[in-house]
Chains A and B, each alone.
Chain A
Amino acid sequence: MSVLPAGPTTRREPVVCVLIALATLAVAFVALCQGATWTTPGETLAGLLGRGDQSFVITQWRSPQVAAGVVFGIALGLAGAVFQNLTRNPLGSPDVIGLDAGAWTGALLVVAFAGGTAGQVAGGAVTTATATALVIYLLSLKQGFSGLRLIVIGIAVNAMLTAVSSWIVLRAELEVAIAGTAWSAGSLNGLDWDEVAWPFAVVGVLAAVLAGQSRALHQAALGDAVAVTTGVRLGVHRFVLVVAGVGATATVTAAAGPIVFVALAAPQIGRRLTGSAGVPLLPAALTGALLLVTADLVAQVVTRPVPLPVGVVTTAVGGLYLIWLLVKEVKR
């Protein structure tokens, strides 16, 4: 199933986007109420405004995690939409082709061998994610370019990188190893404001850059020739897209570990909800936020009192979604 050329923005799209955003806010509010214990909505509102004895718990413990769910969801949705547009294949998303695993390996290498401040971890993640993208692309070139071949090669690279990172985790000191294991499933648990501040800033910048590219993305989806005649500089455009996509993936992975399948599913769900012809960025970003916040809420509730890593939930749900995509593809 190839990505169809993007048509004009449907009239449905703005309405659906507002609805998804509202749903995200609603789920985020429920997530604020639901921590280790349930806080009534009234108390939660009061807590958000700095009143009541739950205030500290809500503003300092639960808020960063919920905010991370929203912002990282946006980042993953955007990264997925970018790569699905570039490969013109819904399966060509960063988590399937091993970019998450690449970023994760880089982050672990920095933590294990270089001490690792937040900035260094992010740098390592971006470096290895970029290298991974390059290697996969070069390996998949043979008698031209094939999307499916790139994806299966990505899966192979993914397996190797996962093996390397579990080796690093096992090499590490026991305490690092235990933290690393929970982190390696992708988890938002226990994030605080200091840890999420710089990733939020980076995601904000990347989202702004991508917003600037959205018209060019539209034109490029109509075909290279159309894009060039309408004044899109394709080389620059693709370069910016790859940098932003890798950057978003690596930022989220450095902060929260490899949260997979949001990048795969969000753009496709967003596209179907809005009835768009292409894979537009805004619905993908909003759907990503809704998916990740919901998955994190589920992860908190299912196995109380011990919260699951959110990656476990997204893996299970996303894998089912991937199977459904394949079933549909076979039926065509």
Chain B
Amino acid sequence: MSETRSGPALLGWLLACAVLLAVLGVLSLCVGARPVPLGEVVQAFTGYDGTDDHVVVRDVRLPRTLLALAVGAALAVAGALVQTLTRNPLAEPGILGVTAGASFAIVVAVATWGADSQVAMLLAAFVGSAVATVLVYAVGGSSPLRLVLAGVALSAVLAGVTLGIRLTMPDVFDSYRFWSVGSLAGREQTALGLPLAAIGVGVVGALLLVRPLGAVALGEHVAHTLGAHVVRTRVLTVVLVTLLAGAATAVAGPIGFVGLIVPHLARRAARGSIGWLVTLCLVLGPALVLFSDIAARVLLPTGEVPVAVVTAFLGGPALIWVVRRYGTVAL
């Protein structure tokens, strides 16, 4: 393809995004209820001596930053995959009800079986997002706008029932209050190994799937000629999307719109190359979630806004822009 011609420009983009991500990463270690000067942050890693600042940086901010990186990468890559697979610019795990399905399944699992292990939560998230994906596509058919409506409707039903369950069992769900609105706050102390591993597997899988997915995106006949397994690629893509969106929801709660905004930002730079699209999403997704999470910490004088509130506020304009730009074609 045209990768050789646009290679240097793309590398430049990637580098710029990586620098942005690094800056945000450092900011994320410094900014918060207790501002830590940059020198102290560096000191916390080079010469740790257990002062309050050092504890905050290493035990609270570092895990939270890593979590934001992983969740951002997972949601953005899931969005890129599902948009490419369905050739639908409005497809996004949050809008399509996939994240709502995952969080609903987790709440049901906690309420009925008292599931509290991470394996159980991940499993529930996976099943929930898979069922939601199938349902929304069954209802929405092939029209992009109708898919959005189906996703929003399913999200509304699930959110209503989820809220009902939570209100009837306040004791059980006390510790899930922040999670239920989509937030990275208070997740620092949980073991992140398993969900991060799941996201890692999903991201690697997505990178491996880039070539066959690119072939499938060109149309079924072309894909056959190029020797790609159409059905296998489609099934694998859906599995990866549910894995990524499910794992992200299991750790951070339902965070919407990241999978919509990021691929659209990256698409123009990627110039039709799905490999570059996924790569750029891998950098830009974490950058967006980190940015939103930092904003979530400073927007309130007294505490924190759930990060999902920030992404929803940024996502609304993105959705309007996409609808105005692509919506007419698909009607």
Contacts and interface: CB of A to CB of B under 8 A. Distances in A.
Contacts of A149: 145, 323-324, 327-328, 331
Contacts of A49: none
Interface residues of B, number: 47
A306 interface: yes
Interface stretch (B23-31, B154-162, B228-236, B262-270): B154-162
A152 B149 contact: yes
A152 B167 contact: no
Interface in B286-331: 299-303, 305-306, 309-310, 312-313, 315-317, 319-320, 323-324, 327-328, 331
A164 interface: yes
Contacts of B160: 312-313, 315-316, 319
A262 interface: no
Interface string A175-208: 0000000000100000000000000000000000
Contacts of A19: none
Contacts of B319: 152-153, 155-156, 159
B163 interface: yes
A91 B305 CA distance: 31
A157 B146 CA distance: 17
B167 A308 contact: yes
B316 A320 contact: no
Interface stretch (A32-40, A110-118, A138-146): A138-146
Main DSSP-derived SS at the B contact region: helix
B320 A171 contact: no
A160 B317 contact: yes
Interface in A155-177: 155-157, 159-160, 162-164, 166-167, 170-171
Nearest to B147: A326
Contact of A146 (B141, B303, B317, B327): B327
B324 A142 contact: yes
A323 interface: yes
Contact of A326 (B139, B161, B300): B139
Contacts of A139: 320, 324
Contact of B164 (A142, A162, A308, A322): A308
A166 B300 CA distance: 12
A236 interface: no
A155 B319 CA distance: 9
Contacts of B328: 142-143, 146, 149
Contacts of B154: 319, 323
B298 to A, nearest CB: 12
A159 B149 contact: no
B323 A326 contact: no
Given A164-B313, A185-B163, A306-B167, A157 B157 contact: no
Contact of B146 (A260, A319, A329): A329
B139 A303 contact: no
A80 interface: no
24 contacts: A148-B146, A152-B90, A152-B145, A152-B323, A156-B323, A160-B312, A160-B317, A164-B313, A167-B305, A171-B301, A185-B163, A302-B164, A302-B168, A303-B164, A303-B167, A315-B157, A319-B158, A320-B157, A322-B153, A323-B139, A326-B139, A326-B140, A326-B149, A327-B139
Given A148-B327, A302-B164, 5 more contacts: A91-B149, A146-B328, A159-B257, A163-B313, A315-B156
| A-B pairs, 7 with minimum CB distance | A160-B316, A319-B157, A315-B160, A316-B160, A156-B319, A319-B156, A322-B153
Interface of A: 91, 139, 142-143, 146, 148-149, 151-153, 155-157, 159-160, 162-164, 166-167, 170-171, 185, 260-261, 302-303, 306, 308, 312-313, 315-316, 318-320, 322-323, 326-327, 329-330
